[in-house]
Amino acid sequence: MPSSPSDLAPSRSPPGAEAAARPGYRLVVEEPLALDCGISFGPYTIAYQTYGRLNAARSNAVLVCHALTGDQYVAEPHPVTGKPGWWETMVGAGKVLDTERYFLICANVLGGCMGSSGPMESDPATGKPWGLSFPVITVADMVRAQTRLIDHLGIETLFCVIGGSMGGMQVLQWAASYPERVFAAVPIATAARHSAQNIAFHEVGRQAIMADPDWCQGNYLERGVRPERGLAVARMAAHITYLSEQALHRKFGRNLQDRSALTYGFDADFQVENYLRHQGITFVERFDANSYLYITRACDYFDLAAEYGGALANAFRGTRTRFCSISFTSDWLYPTSENRAIVHALNAVAANVSFVEIATDKGHDAFLLDEPEFFATLRGFLDGCARHRGLETP
Partner 1 sequence: MSADGNLPVVGADGLRGDLRLVADMIEAGSRVLDVGCGDGELLAHLAQHKGVDGRGMELSQSGVNACVRHGLSVIQGDADHDLKDYPSDSFDYVVLSQTLQATRQPRRVIEHLVRIGRRAIVSFPNFGHWRIRLRLLLNGRMPVTPVLAHAWYETPNIHLCTILDFIALCEELGVVIERSVTLDRSGLPYRLNPRGRLANLMAEQALFLLRRAGPAA
Q: Name the residue type at position 349.
A: V
Give the helix/strand (H/E) hosting 346.
Answer: helix 336-348
Candidate list 59, 165, 325, 330, residue with the active-site label:
165
Using an 8 Å Cβ cutoff, are 38 and 47 in contact?
no
Site for partner 1 in 178-237 (CB under 8 A): none
Q: Closest CB to partner 1 among 295 and 346?
A: 346
**Catalytic residue status for 165:** yes
Site for partner 1 in 4-63 (CB under 8 A): none
Contact call for residue 387 and partner 1 (CB under 8 A): yes
* Residue 109: CB minimum distance to partner 1, A: 28
Phi, psi angle pair for 341, to nearest 5°: -60, -35
Residues belonging to the chain? 394
- Backbone CA torsion sign across 376, 339, 330, 362: positive
Contact call for residue 381 and partner 1 (CB under 8 A): yes
Q: Name the residue type at position 12.
A: R
Q: Closest CB to partner 1 among 36 and 357?
A: 357
DSSP state of 11: T
Contact call for residue 305 and partner 1 (CB under 8 A): no
Rounded Cα distance, 323 and 182, in Å:
10
* Residue 122: CB minimum distance to partner 1, A: 46
Q: Indicate which single residue of 61, 150, 353, 368 sits in contact with partner 1 (rule: CB under 8 A).
A: 353
Letters for 360-379 (x = contact with partner 1 by CB under 8 A, - = none) are -------------x--xx-x
- CB within 8 A of 174, min separation 6: which ones? 63, 65, 143, 146, 158, 161, 181, 182, 185
* Residue 311: CB minimum distance to partner 1, A: 12
Q: Closest CB to partner 1 among 290 and 321?
A: 321
Q: Indicate which single residue of 27, 157, 279, 380 sits in contact with partner 1 (rule: CB under 8 A).
A: 380
Using an 8 Å Cβ cutoff, are 157 and 321 in contact?
no
Site for partner 1 in 312-331 (CB under 8 A): 322, 324-325
Contact call for residue 349 and partner 1 (CB under 8 A): yes
Rounded Cα distance, 118 and 132, in Å:
10
Rounded Cα distance, 164 and 346, in Å:
18
Phi, psi angle pair for 48, to nearest 5°: -145, 165
Phi, psi angle pair for 26, to nearest 5°: -135, 130
DSSP state of 24: S
* Residue 340: CB minimum distance to partner 1, A: 8
Q: Indicate which single residue of 259, 344, 370, 394 sits in contact with partner 1 (rule: CB under 8 A).
A: 344
**Catalytic residue status for 4:** no
Q: Closest CB to partner 1 among 201 and 374?
A: 374
Contact call for residue 354 and partner 1 (CB under 8 A): yes
**Applying CB under 8 A, which part among 96-104, 117-125, 187-195, 382-390 lies near partner 1?**
382-390
**Applying CB under 8 A, which part among 63-71, 150-158, 247-255, 349-357 lies near partner 1?**
349-357
Q: Closest CB to partner 1 among 233 and 345?
A: 345
Rounded Cα distance, 364 and 275, in Å:
17
Rounded Cα distance, 248 and 233, in Å:
18
Rounded Cα distance, 310 and 140, in Å:
16
Distance of CA 91 to the CA centre of its chain: 16
Phi, psi angle pair for 358, to nearest 5°: -90, 130
* Residue 354: CB minimum distance to partner 1, A: 5
* Residue 202: CB minimum distance to partner 1, A: 29
Residues of the shown chain interacting with partner 1 in the complex, contacts defined by CB under 8 A: 322, 324-325, 343-344, 347-350, 352-359, 373, 376-377, 379-381, 383-385, 387
Catalytic residues: 165, 331, 364
